[in-house]
Amino acid sequence: MDQPKQPFELIDHARPFLDIIREQAQQLRSYPHRLVAQFETLPRELFVPEEWQELFRDRIHRDAGYGGLISQPGVIFGMVAALQLKGKEVVFEAGTGTGYQTAILAGLCSHVYTVERDSARLQAAQQRLASLGISNVTFVHGDAAQGLPQSAPFDRMIFGAAIHDLVDQHLIDQMAAARSRLVVPTGTYHHQRGMIIGDLLLCDKRDGQVTQKITSVYHGT
């Protein structure tokens, strides 16, 4: 398959998103070299839908998102870092979107199962990842809120849409019993500001025992 055309001219911003990513990485207990490398090498501009290219022309190298379809790189970094991927995990991703986070996950684990309810969006993401030679991803058309029980258990699960309380039992049941983690933003949507006001919920399962806790890594984004 032909490589997608480069839709953007590179723009020199005073504070590109890679600087923000590296700054966040420095604040972690152990610097996540593999995760940072994913952001450094993956061309974000390839994941902007054609109809949004003009909108994103002067934003692509900043830590900017757009609605629920293109997340800020800094937000993706915080959530993926919380997964603590070592390389051998099977990961469930709720909401494929443009496939940008999917591609980052694919470079850090054994296999990704990604679920998206918009079939056109799913197909476009699949084509983008194929053009980059990424093959360890299974794309599924469906309701990500239900998980993917037919492919469970998962070592890691990641959700982009916020919840208000705790993780539902049907998702906990899809987590690997021995050692697994689910990350999901929690909070409320602020309509005037157009963002989630909240934190990140970590749900851990160890030898069948489940704990859930809130961390402030997502606060204010």
DSSP states along 147-161: --GGG--BSEEEE-S
Torsion sign over Cα 59, 60, 64, 68: positive
In a domain, 30, yes or no: no
Is residue 146 in some structural domain? yes
Task: Choose among 200, 94, 194, 188: nearest CA to 147.
Answer: 94
Domain ranges, residue 152: 74-218
pLDDT of residue 58: 59
Establish whether 135 is a catalytic residue. no
Identify which has the larger pLDDT, 23 or 195. Answer: 23
Domain-embedded: residue 9: no
In a domain, 12, yes or no: no
Query: Among positive and negative, which fits the CA dihedral 169, 84, 150, 186?
Result: positive
Q: State pLDDT tens for residues 3-21.
A: 444 443 444 444 478 888 8
Q: Which of 71, 119, 135, 180 is catalytic?
A: 71
Residue 126 lies in a domain: yes
- The reply to whether 56 falls in a domain is no
Which one, of 78, 73, 79, lies nearest residue 100 by Cα? 73
**pLDDT tens across 41-62, in order?**
998 878 877 766 666 655 555 5
- Residue 61 domain flag: no
Q: Find the CATH number of the domain harbouring 166.
A: 3.40.50.150
Residue 83 has pLDDT above 70, yes or no: yes
Does the pLDDT of residue 110 top 50, yes or no?
yes
DSSP letters of 116-166? Answer: ES-HHHHHHHHHHHHHTT--SEEEEES-GGG--GGG--BSEEEE-S-BSS-
Question: Which of 7-16, 86-95, 111-120, 197-206 is predicted least confidently?
Answer: 7-16
Distance of alpha carbon 101 from alpha carbon 106, whole angstroms: 9
Number of C-alpha atoms within 13 angstroms, CB side, residue 90?
A: 10
Number of domains into which the chain is organized: 1
Nearest to 136, CA basis, from 152, 112, 105, 116: 112
Reported as a pLDDT band with limits 50, 70 and 90, residue 119 is very high
pLDDT at 158 over 60: yes
pLDDT of residue 220: 46
Q: What is the pLDDT of residue 7?
A: 41
**Has residue 58 been placed in a domain?**
no
20 Cβ contact partners less than 8 Å away, ≥ 6 residues apart: 63, 73, 74
